[in-house]
């Protein structure tokens, strides 16, 4: 479980988050919806402890991670897998090296176990035959699947997606979304999906929080989004995509 309690964050004079509170339960898919530049990626980075809030607490499985040092955070981060907005694959490594990279780096696993897990992810992500290719030679959707595989390889119990369908064609988007919803059924995984595309929310999310001008203006099950009277939510429901 991940919980933000009254989290505020400023970059210089610019207030990005104003007392944001948010809970993500295990085994559910939670979407965070908001326009570009509102601070969605920032929220994911806060959850991982990559950045610290100016005030408030971030709790991961009931541990407050805000006062923790980097070395103490490594163990906690391994409970979560992160899929970055631009995938953040290592462009000088092949697909299977990318997948196995952090297992080799941070776990003292025997090489056979590493290879076994890499093969498992290759199959799960449907990347057979591309093991020895570099990321740049793959399509956007495939690269996204490699990034998802890399996040899953530690067997986390929560996975964080930063704009999983942004920049993908509709077919690839659909594939990624079905991959995401299959995660919960097969692996009992919780997920946070940050997005500015409202279709993503309706396709996979159990509940959704809407972030607008630094504040959470809606936080409930997805179906209730239609009942919201908030002007911003009404406008995004009619426009489908937030391009603000």
Partner 1 sequence: MGSENEKPTFTRMKTGESTVIASHRMQFMPSAVILILGKKLVLQLKDFFLTMQEFFFFSLKAFMAFPKMIRYWRDVLDQATICGTDSIPIVLVSAISIGALLAIEVGNLLEDFGAKTMLGRSTALSIIRELGPLLMGLMLSARFGSRNGAELGAMQISEQIDALRAFGTDPIAKLVMPRLLAALIMFLPLTALSDFAGLQSAAYMADHYHKIDPGIFWNAVYPRLVAKDFVVGFLKAPVFAIIITLVSCFNGFSARGGTAGVGRSTIKGIVVSSGLVLIANFYVSKIVLENM
Ligand X SMILES: Nc1ncnc2c1ncn2[C@@H]1O[C@H](COP(=O)(O)OP(=O)(O)O)[C@@H](O)[C@H]1O
Positions in the binding site for partner 1 (CB under 8 A): 45, 48, 50, 70, 74-75, 77-78, 82, 84-86, 88-91, 102, 105-106, 150, 154
Q: Binding to ligand X (CB under 6 A): which residues in 12-41?
A: 16, 34, 36-41
Give the one entry of Mg ion, partner 1, ligand X, none that residue 48 binds, where binding means its C-beta sits below a cut-off of 5 to 8 angstroms depending on kind.
Answer: partner 1
Closest CB 104 distance from ligand X, rounded Å: 30
Give the one entry of Mg ion, ligand X, partner 1, none that residue 39 binds, where binding means its C-beta sits below a cut-off of 5 to 8 angstroms depending on kind.
Answer: ligand X
Closest CB 120 distance from partner 1, rounded Å: 17
Exposure string for 10-41, b = 16+ CB within 10 A, e = fewer: eeeeeebbeebebebeeebbbbbbbbeebbbb
Closest CB 129 distance from partner 1, rounded Å: 25
Tell me 60's DSSP state: E
Total chain residues near ligand X (CB under 6 A): 10
* Cα-Cα end-to-end distance for the chain: 31
Q: Cα(119)–Cα(123) distance, rounded to whole angstroms?
A: 6
Question: The tokens of 78 are what?
Answer: 């391994």
**Ordered strands of the 14-24 beta sheet:** 14-24, 2-11, 55-60, 63-64
Q: What are phi and psi of 28, to 5 degrees?
A: -130, 160
Q: Binding to Mg ion (CB under 5 A): which residues in 33-52?
A: 41
Q: How many residues does the structure list for the chain?
A: 244
Closest CB 43 distance from ligand X, rounded Å: 7
Q: What angle do CA 150, 158, 117 make, to 5 degrees?
A: 35
Total chain residues near Mg ion (CB under 5 A): 1
Considering beta carbons, is residue 35 or 126 the nearer one to ligand X? 35
Give yes or no for residue 181 binding Mg ion (CB under 5 A): no
Considering beta carbons, is residue 147 or 201 the nearer one to partner 1? 147
**Residue 186 burial by Cβ neighbours in a 10 Å radius (0-12, 13-18, 19+):** exposed
Q: Cα(88)–Cα(84) distance, rounded to whole angstroms?
A: 6
Considering beta carbons, is residue 106 or 139 the nearer one to partner 1? 106
Is 166:147 a contact under the CB 8 Å cutoff? no
Considering beta carbons, is residue 39 or 100 the nearer one to ligand X? 39
Q: Binding to Mg ion (CB under 5 A): which residues in 89-128?
A: none
Considering beta carbons, is residue 9 or 159 the nearer one to ligand X? 9
Give the one entry of Mg ion, ligand X, partner 1, none that residue 145 binds, where binding means its C-beta sits below a cut-off of 5 to 8 angstroms depending on kind.
Answer: none
The residues binding ligand X (CB under 6 A) are: 11, 16, 34, 36-42
């Amino acid at each position: 479980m991940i919980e933000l309690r009254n989290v505020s964050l400023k970059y210089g004079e610019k207030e990005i988050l104003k007392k944001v509170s948010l809970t993500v339960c295990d085994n559910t898919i939670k979407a965070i919806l908001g326009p570009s530049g509102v601070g969605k990626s920032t929220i994911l980075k806060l959850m991982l402890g990559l950045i610290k809030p100016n005030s408030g607490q971030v709790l991961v499985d009931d541990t407050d991670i805000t006062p923790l040092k980097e070395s103490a955070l490594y163990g906690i981060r391994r409970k979560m897998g992160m899929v970055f907005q631009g995938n953040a694959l290592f462009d000088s490594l092949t697909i299977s090296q990318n997948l196995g990279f952090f297992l080799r780096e941070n776990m003292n696993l025997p090489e056979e176990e590493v290879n076994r897990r890499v093969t498992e992810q290759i199959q799960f992500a449907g990347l057979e035959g591309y093991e020895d290719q570099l990321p740049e030679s793959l399509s956007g959707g495939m690269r996204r699947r490699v990034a998802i595989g890399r996040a899953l390889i530690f067997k986390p119990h929560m996975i964080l997606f930063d704009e999983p369908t942004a920049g993908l064609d509709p077919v690839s988007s659909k594939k990624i979304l079905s991959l995401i919803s299959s995660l919960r059924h097969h692996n009992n995984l919780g997920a946070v999906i940050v997005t500015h595309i409202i279709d993503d929310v309706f396709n996979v999310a159990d509940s959704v929080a809407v972030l607008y001008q630094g504040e959470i203006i809606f936080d409930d099950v997805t179906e209730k989004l239609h009942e919201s009277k908030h002007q911003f939510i009404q406008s995004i429901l009619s426009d489908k995509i937030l391009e603000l």
